[in-house]
Each structure stands twice: as structure tokens, then as C-alpha cells.
Structure 1
Amino acid sequence: MNMNKDYAESEPPRAEVDALPGPTVVEFGAPWCGFCIGAQPLIEQAFAGHDSVRHIKIEDGPGRSLGRSYRIKLWPTLVFLKDGVEVARLVRPSDAATIRQALAQIA
């Protein structure tokens, strides 16, 4: 699976995310967020070679229950899951190497 480039406007229920098998990264942010835009090249570099990792990109904001269930405060936040369990979390990642290290924990 390749990295998603677009934020999903609708979010899956938390129970559905918790039930996902295998490695998954849930990215919370917004298409207009400067930090999110700046992080995209780093995320894309880090995802190269990790085709088996599911990438769910969620547009977050007020009233969005999935982001609240993960206690998201800043964007972008990447939550790294293995079989629905959080293994790592990065808030406003600043380099691809850190993202690759977190991916290695779930791949």
C-alpha cells in the first residue's frame, strides 16, 4: 500500500481502527495546516519501501471523535499501530529518519 496524499474528510470509527490487522499509520492533520504541508515530503521519503504499511490520513478538527480518542493536540500527528495497538507516536516530525525508525517498530 502506498502513502495516501489526501486527507479523508470522514473518519472511521475508533473500533474499526483498533481492529485493523498488521502495521498501520494514522496521520492526523489538515490540508491547510502549514506544519502538515511541510511534513509531507518527509513522510513520503520515510514510507518509501514500506508498501505493506497501511496509511490512513484523517482530516482532524473540532468535533472529530477519532482525533479526540487519540488525544491529538498538534498537527501533524502520526500514530503507529501494530494490530490496532499504538506502538509509537510522532508529533510534528522534522526528519524522515525518525519516521523510518517508528515505521521499523511496526513493520
Structure 2
Amino acid sequence: METTYLDKEPSRDEVNAWSGPALIEFGTAWCGWCRGAQPKIEQALQGHPSVRHVKIEDGSGRRLGRSFGVKLWPTLVFMRDGQEVAKLVRPQDAQPIADALAQIDPAG
């Protein structure tokens, strides 16, 4: 599981070119909601080692987050081959995360 947020975000074109399953997590290291979600995200990801997990530091003026409609942290965007499949905002439980991961990585 990725533990640090990237402060330099990839472009939307780069993200759209990714192949396979990917989870983009938008948030910040100092966000209480983000810190609280980490154990749930980690638990859900355990059964999906092939999922690319990228943590993007989000904030005002950050284009990638805006392109995904991010307004609250953490926002989890689940992608398969560069296409958004599901999105969760401030997940409170590991099960919805696991369900969304199963949509992008059915083989687990």
C-alpha cells in the first residue's frame, strides 16, 4: 500500500493512459478524514495486490482532482484501463472499498 501522497500530480492524460486496475486516493497527510480512512483502505487492498494505488495530494488549484470532481477528502477513484468505474467520498467502512475494488480487479 502506498503510504505517502504525491505532491506532483500526473496529468489527466497520463492517468487515462494507465492500463489495468488503479485506485487514485485524493487527500492530504494532515487531513483527519484521510488518516482515519487509511486502515480501511489498507484492509480492502490486501486482496488486490495488482491494483496500482496512487495517493495524490489535493488542494486548491490542483487540476487532476478537479477533473474528477473532488470536493471532499478522501475521495477514492477506482479506474480500469484509464476509465473511471467507481468513486467513493469519505468511506466509513472497508466493505464499500472492497466492493469497488472487486469491480476493477475481479480476479483479486
TM, length-normalised to structure 2: 0.96
Aligned counterpart, 1:88: 86
The amino acid across from 1:30 in the alignment is T
Q: Which runs of 5+ in 1 are unaligned?
A: none
Matched residue type, 1:43: I
Q: What is residue 10 of structure 1 aligned with on the other side?
A: 8
Q: AA paired with 2:95?
A: A
Helix, strand or coil: the match of 2:55?
strand
TM-score, normalized by length of structure 1?
0.96
* 2:99 maps to amino acid: Q
2:47 is equivalent to residue 49 of structure 1: yes
- Could you say what secondary structure the match of 2:49 adopts? coil
Structure 2 residue identity aligned to 1:59:
E
* Residue 103 (structure 2) pairs with residue 105 (structure 1): yes
Aligned length: 105
**Percent identity of paired positions between Structure 1 and Structure 2:** 64
Aligned to 2:27, which of 19, 26, 29? 29
| Structure 1 stretches of at least 4 aligned residues deviating more than 4 Å after TM superposition | none
Q: Paired residue for 2:62?
A: 64
CA RMSD of aligned residues (A): 0.5
